[in-house]
């Protein structure tokens, strides 16, 4: 059995309208001044106003930083830091998608420990205790609410820096499925595919262990069987809740096993072509499953056993091939591209992209060893 070191760092509070409890939960943490990190879309959706009212009822002073962008960069963190320096919060609240939550964590690293974001690239770089943080996801995607990692891109080089430290884990995650109902359809599609890729990638990493497998399997069961439903019935709160919990479990799976080659292949696409993360990873995933399946087919069959007999799910005996075809069908259902040529990627750029993919830390956890040559072959199969 693979050894593990596991502690659940984050209290999970779930249920429709659980956002109304943010004030009470913040007060329990002894909060006097809360800084909400979010984006303008979330403010416009009205979620920030609800959180502020709940906080103010507990006599908690509040400030809002609504400058988190998709794929947040060091610029976003710097802008958030300006507000944090003058306001001096004792609690950070990441309210929004993965970008808002990661941006809040980024601000937390720099505010609590000094220096600049680049100093925290890697694992365990925090030098001081960090502010408590509450995460309130409005998408069912990254699972950042359950992780100690923040993904922040260097504004100059566009390199995605994974900055992780257990001290950066959220103290509380509020999972209110009603918040995810307001997502635009494209966001539901992109974040849902990303969460599914997290379940599948974590299931087979070199670091997989009894803890990560538990969370990967539950994530897969919830996400794979509810994704089409939330696309077809956006107001179905039960299916939204299943997706939200699935994404959170997948986040915990990442925390315990890391990711794999799909994310290594996706990152250069985002850096070069600005391809949305969910599109890039969803497009690459079926090809990575086929590639890994040549050596690890029994693992994929075992994953499919967990959803055997559920309407529309692949036969476990079909293994990596059946899983890859099923994943492609989900990407199509989400109205996303299934080929690189359909995303504006030039064929002659593939070697350069493969060079970038081979440098991605996340690729080192892929079950089958990857190098520039094998990653290029996966890109070619996806082109
Ligand atoms: Zn991802």
Q: How far does the centroid of ligand 1 lie from the alpha carbon of residue 279, in Å?
A: 10
Fold assignment, 183-382: Dehydroquinate synthase-like, alpha domain (1.20.1090)
112 Cα: distance to centroid of ligand 1 (angstroms) = 26
**Ligand 1: centre distance to CA 143 (Å):** 9
For the stretch 82-120, pLDDT in tens is 999 999 999 999 999 999 999 999 999 999 999 999 999
User: What is the spatial distance between Cα 45 and Cα 196, in angstroms, rounded to a whole number?
Assistant: 25
11-179 against 183-382: fold identical = no
Distance of CA 26 from the midpoint of ligand 1 (Å): 29
Q: Tokens 């505010």 correspond to what residue?
A: 111
Of all helices (H) and strands (E), which one includes residue 264? helix 261-273
How far, in Å, from the CA of 30 to the mean position of ligand 1?
33
pLDDT of residue 313: 97
Q: What are the sequence ranges of the domains in the chain?
A: 11-179, 183-382
Give residue for tokens 């996801």: 137
Q: Kindly give the distance from the C-alpha atom of residue 281 to the centroid of ligand 1, in angstroms, as a whole number.
A: 7
Distance in Å, CA 295 to ligand 1 centroid:
23
Q: What is the mean pLDDT of residues 160-189?
A: 95
In the reported structure, the alpha carbon of residue 277 is separated from the centroid of ligand 1 by a whole-number distance in angstroms of 7
Residue 288 C-alpha to ligand 1 middle, in angstroms?
A: 14
pLDDT digits (tens, 9 = 90+) for 248-290: 999 999 999 999 999 999 999 998 999 999 999 999 999 999 9
Backbone angles phi, psi at 155, to 5 degrees: -65, -25
What is the per-residue pLDDT across 195-223, written as a single tens digit (0 to 9) for each?
999 999 999 999 999 999 999 999 999 99
**What SS3 class is residue 131?**
coil
Q: How far is CA 204 from CA 96, 213, 319, 376, in A?
A: 29, 9, 13, 21
For residue 151, report the distance from its CA to the centre of ligand 1, in Å: 10
User: How close is the Cα of 232 to the center of ligand 1, in Å?
Assistant: 23
Report the separation in Å between the CA atom of 207 and the middle of ligand 1, taken as the mean of its atom positions.
17
Give the pLDDT confidence score for residue 272 in this predicted structure: 92
pLDDT tens profile 156-168 = 988 889 999 999 9
Among the CATH numbers 2.40.50.140, 3.90.1150.10, 3.40.50.1970, 2.60.40.1120, which is that of 11-179?
A: 3.40.50.1970
pLDDT tens track for 39-68: 999 999 999 999 999 999 999 999 999 999
Expressed in angstroms and rounded, the spacing between residue 29 Cα and the centre of ligand 1 is: 30
Label residue 1 by pLDDT band (50, 70, 90): confident
- Quote the mean pLDDT of the chain: 96
User: 214: buried, middle or exposed (CB in 10 Å: 19+, 13-18, 0-12)?
Assistant: middle
Strand order in the sheet with 33-37: 11-14, 172-175, 133-137, 91-96, 33-37, 61-65
Distance 198 CA to ligand 1 centre (A): 6
Cα–ligand 1 centroid distance for 320 (angstroms): 20
CA–centroid distance, 208 to ligand 1, in Å, is: 17
How far is ligand 1, taken at its centre, from the CA of residue 348, in Å?
Answer: 26
> Does residue 182 carry a pLDDT above 90?
no
Share above pLDDT 70 across residues of the chain, in percent, rounded to a whole number: 100
CA of 28 to the centre of ligand 1 (A): 32
Return the residue matching tokens 């820096």: 161
Distance 309 CA to ligand 1 centre (A): 28
CA 363 – ligand 1 centroid, Å: 13
Position 98 scores a pLDDT of: 93
Amino acid 374: pLDDT: 98
Measured in angstroms, how far is the CA atom of residue 265 from the centroid of ligand 1? 11
Which pLDDT does position 82 carry in this prediction? 97
């Amino acid at each position: 059995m693979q050894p593990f070191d596991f502690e659940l760092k984050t209290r999970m509070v779930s249920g429709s309208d659980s956002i109304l409890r943010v004030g009470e939960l913040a007060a329990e943490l002894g909060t006097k001044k809360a800084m909400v990190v979010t984006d303008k879309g979330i403010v416009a959706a009205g979620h920030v106003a609800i959180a502020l009212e709940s906080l103010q009822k507990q006599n908690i002073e509040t400030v809002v930083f609504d400058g988190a962008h998709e794929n947040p960069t060091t610029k976003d963190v710097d802008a958030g830091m300006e507000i944090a320096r003058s306001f001096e919060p004792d609690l950070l609240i990441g309210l929004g998608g993965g970008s808002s939550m990661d941006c809040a964590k980024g601000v937390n690293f720099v505010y609590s420990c000094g220096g600049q974001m680049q100093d925290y690239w890697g694992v365990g770089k925090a030098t001081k205790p960090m502010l408590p943080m509450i995460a309130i996801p409005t998408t069912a995607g990254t699972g950042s609410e359950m992780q100690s990692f923040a993904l922040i891109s260097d504004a100059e080089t566009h390199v995605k820096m994974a900055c992780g430290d257990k001290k950066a884990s959220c103290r509380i995650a509020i999972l209110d499925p009603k918040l995810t109902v307001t997502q635009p359809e494209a966001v539901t599609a992109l974040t849902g595919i990303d969460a599914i890729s997290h379940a599948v990638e974590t299931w087979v990493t070199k670091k997989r262990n009894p803890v990560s497998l538990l969370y990967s399997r539950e994530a897969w069961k919830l996400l794979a069987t509810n994704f089409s439903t939330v696309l077809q019935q956006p107001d179905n709160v039960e299916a939204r809740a299943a997706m939200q919990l699935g994404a959170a479990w997948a986040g915990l799976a990442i925390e315990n096993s890391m990711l794999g080659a799909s994310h290594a292949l996706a990152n250069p696409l985002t850096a070069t072509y600005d391809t949305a993360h969910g599109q890039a990873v969803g497009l690459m995933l079926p090809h990575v499953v086929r590639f890994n399946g040549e050596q690890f087919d029994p693992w994929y069959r075992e994953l499919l056993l967990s959803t055997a007999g559920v309407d529309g799910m692949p036969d476990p005996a079909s293994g990596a091939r059946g899983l890859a075809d099923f994943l492609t069908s989900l990407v199509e259902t989400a109205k996303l591209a299934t080929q690189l040529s359909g995303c504006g990627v030039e064929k002659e750029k593939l070697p350069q992209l493969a060079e970038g993919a081979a440098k991605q830390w996340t690729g080192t956890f892929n079950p089958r060893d990857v190098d520039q040559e094998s990653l290029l072959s996966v890109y070619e199969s996806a082109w």
